[in-house]
A and B are shown apart, each in its own frame.
Chain A
Amino acid sequence: MNVAFVPLTTLADISFWSSINSKKLHEWKLDESPIECFAEYSIQDFTGSPSRLSFCHDSFENASSSRFHGFALAYNTIEGFQNVDRRKIIEESALSIFHNIKNGVWLERPEILNTFVLTIHANLKKFVYTYWNCVPALCSPENITYVQEPIELDTGATQQLLQYYRSHGYPSIFIHHKNLCLPLSHLMQMTTVDAAAAYLVVADGSTETRVPGWTIRNALAALSLSRPDINEYRLISLRASLPSLHYVITGTITDPSKFPKTVGWERSIRGKLEPITVDMKSHFDPHSLMEQSV
């Protein structure tokens, strides 16, 4: 079985576009600098719905630690949006993740692995919004295969992990070793034998029954780059609505100091690398609204 990770799907609601309308008009104006932005993901969702990153009314305000912390880039013109160097955008974002892995910041703040760059063009006259999100994933190790394919974790074990997760401020990654939950910061003090036996528990928003999600990728990358002495990676996808999964992955690392390959521009529903356009005229245009009102 090929190792595959469920990508995150960007879902932006009406209130998000509404906040873009007012911020663009009153705050950002023609400034195209990156804006801090916070997107919600969830380990509570059910099958039949996408594994999502939600952008909503408080995405520019609510910096809750359980959210993805990223940036929005709002371009003034559609040409600006089209012509931006997207290779550079993903590389810069991934490079900052890579540095935070190498300098050990991720051990104290694992949530820095979960980030995005949302590129936007908002046509405020026609209420047409074009966007393309990027959730960078570092591909380390390379040529990954399963030593042990994903198996459902039993309910008792999941409950223990969820209890730790909820009572310790929702850490996006922690360690499970010898029946104990430990903060991720313990990773570097562990012996090779212990580190190889420990499970990295990762909050995972995958809504596919037997398939790990996107947040596993940077967790795996960080583990492999931080502990080159181990070569089999034990992982748990922690989920609350669907059964959690445990599995073992292996792969190759030629040089742990080298910046790995990165992927992450979002595919459309057609599986293509392309932006999405939403026409919100019927929601925002005063004339359309008049017709709807009773």
Chain B
Amino acid sequence: GAAEKFTPILKESKFRETGVLTPEEFIVAGDHLVHHCATWQWAKADASKKRDYLPDEKQFLITRNVPCRKRCRQMEYDPQQEKVLTSQEIGAEEGFAGDEDSGWVDTHHYNQESNAALELDKDVKEEDDDEEVDLDNLVESGGLEDADTNRFVAKREIMGSAEVEHPRTYDLHITYDKYYQVPRLWLGGYNENRRPLTTDEMNEDFSADHANKTITIETHPHIDGPPMASIHPCRHAETMKRLIDQLTENGKDLGVHQYMLVFLKFVQAVIPTIDYDYTKSIQL
């Protein structure tokens, strides 16, 4: 919008001081992500949405087909299990240590192991009857193909587990938000019938604390099309700044190229059941 148009482009690095990135640093951090997690790739923009402060071949990042095996509410949500995570806990294994007010909520903190007794509530079951349009009569498919005995047919598990009943997949995009000067995550999901999810359906995969606040529906900066779900970036810089500070205090100097790995780790709190690769194996 107008705000974006009049925001000057960052020329000098301020990521240590304020947690924000220049477009050049976004590219460096994106290259590092693509190198270490090949599931992430650079993508081109639609012609009309190309931003000249980013290279044509590196307008934004995409990872596709990320499994999301269950809904947030199927994680046996219980307020007693909820814990507001300190920055220390968000990044404990990377050696972060810090204050108490980063404000990310882990909705299943005290429930690391137990997902044995997943119960579907009624309206989840109703989704099963997904209004599949019966096209048997619409298209004459009889005799279309000879029998194919070498086509793999997935066993549909009959364990009654929600994990296999409702597998969804997500495509995730990371764009450079010029106004907030931070990376921004966008989401588009598919149901088990390969249909794009509606906003309401996707809300089931956002942690309860974020679903109607942190997630907004807005126009994608590089794709012509209808609005998409996105994690609003208004608090990204301060959260990143806090994480960077803690790392420094612990004698671990975060290079700007590692920015995206930390970013992906903290947005996991918003989308706890979307199992994307933020590469646990990388040593920060």
Is the C-beta of B136 less than 8 angstroms from some C-beta in chain A? yes
Is the C-beta of A124 less than 8 angstroms from some C-beta in chain B? no
User: For B132, B225, B275, which residue has the most chain A Cβ atoms within 10 angstroms?
Assistant: B225
B152 in contact with A14 (CB, 8 Å): no
Shortest distance from the beta carbon of B156 to any chain A beta carbon, whole Å: 9
Q: Provide the A12-31 mask, 1 if CB < 8 A to any CB of B, else 0.
A: 11110111001000000000
- Classify the secondary structure of B's interface with A: loop
Q: Which residues of A, 11-57, contact B by the 8 Å Cβ criterion?
A: 11-15, 17-19, 22, 40, 42, 44-50, 52, 54, 56-57
B152 in contact with A57 (CB, 8 Å): no
Shortest distance from the beta carbon of B123 to any chain A beta carbon, whole Å: 18
Q: Which residues of A, 109-163, contact B by the 8 Å Cβ criterion?
A: 130, 132, 139, 144
Q: Which residues of B, 147-202, contact A by the 8 Å Cβ criterion?
A: 148-154, 167, 169, 171, 188, 190, 192-196, 198-199
Asked if A277 meets B39 with Cβ closer than 8 Å, knowing A45-B65, A269-B194, the reply is: no
Is the C-beta of A254 less than 8 angstroms from some C-beta in chain B? no
B150 in contact with A274 (CB, 8 Å): no
B217 in contact with A293 (CB, 8 Å): yes
Is the C-beta of B64 less than 8 angstroms from some C-beta in chain A? yes
Of the candidates A56, A61, A261, A282, which one forms a contact with B198 in the assembled complex, judged by CB atoms under 8 Å apart? A282
A86 in contact with B150 (CB, 8 Å): no
Is the C-beta of B69 less than 8 angstroms from some C-beta in chain A? yes
Asked if A58 meets B44 with Cβ closer than 8 Å, knowing A44-B39, A269-B193, A271-B153, the reply is: yes
Q: Provide the A258-272 mask, 1 if CB < 8 A to any CB of B, else 0.
A: 000101110111111
B44 in contact with A263 (CB, 8 Å): no
B144 in contact with A284 (CB, 8 Å): no
Asked if A19 meets B224 with Cβ closer than 8 Å, knowing A263-B145, A273-B145, the reply is: yes
Is the C-beta of A190 less than 8 angstroms from some C-beta in chain B? no
Is the C-beta of A226 less than 8 angstroms from some C-beta in chain B? no
Is the C-beta of B216 less than 8 angstroms from some C-beta in chain A? yes
Is the C-beta of B66 less than 8 angstroms from some C-beta in chain A? yes
CA distance A279 to B228 in the complex (A): 16
Is the C-beta of A180 less than 8 angstroms from some C-beta in chain B? no
When C-beta atoms are compared, the residue in chain A nearest to B154 turns out to be A208
Shortest distance from the beta carbon of A134 to any chain B beta carbon, whole Å: 9
Set of chain A residues within 8 Å of B220, measured between Cβ atoms: 15
Is the C-beta of B226 less than 8 angstroms from some C-beta in chain A? yes
Q: Which residues of B, 102-152, contact A by the 8 Å Cβ criterion?
A: 132-133, 135-136, 138-141, 144-146, 148-152
CA distance A86 to B143 in the complex (A): 10
Of the candidates B152, B154, B196, B217, which one forms a contact with A5 in the assembled complex, judged by CB atoms under 8 Å apart? B152
A283 in contact with B198 (CB, 8 Å): yes
CA distance A15 to B133 in the complex (A): 23
Complex A-B: 21 CB contacts under 8 Å: A4-B150, A6-B152, A13-B196, A14-B228, A18-B224, A22-B224, A40-B64, A46-B66, A52-B65, A61-B44, A139-B148, A144-B150, A217-B150, A240-B38, A265-B145, A273-B141, A274-B135, A279-B195, A282-B198, A283-B226, A293-B217
Given contacts A17-B196, A49-B67, A272-B141, 17 further A-B contacts (CB under 8 A): A7-B151, A11-B169, A13-B190, A13-B196, A15-B224, A18-B226, A45-B65, A50-B169, A56-B171, A58-B46, A82-B140, A241-B39, A261-B146, A269-B193, A275-B138, A277-B133, A284-B226
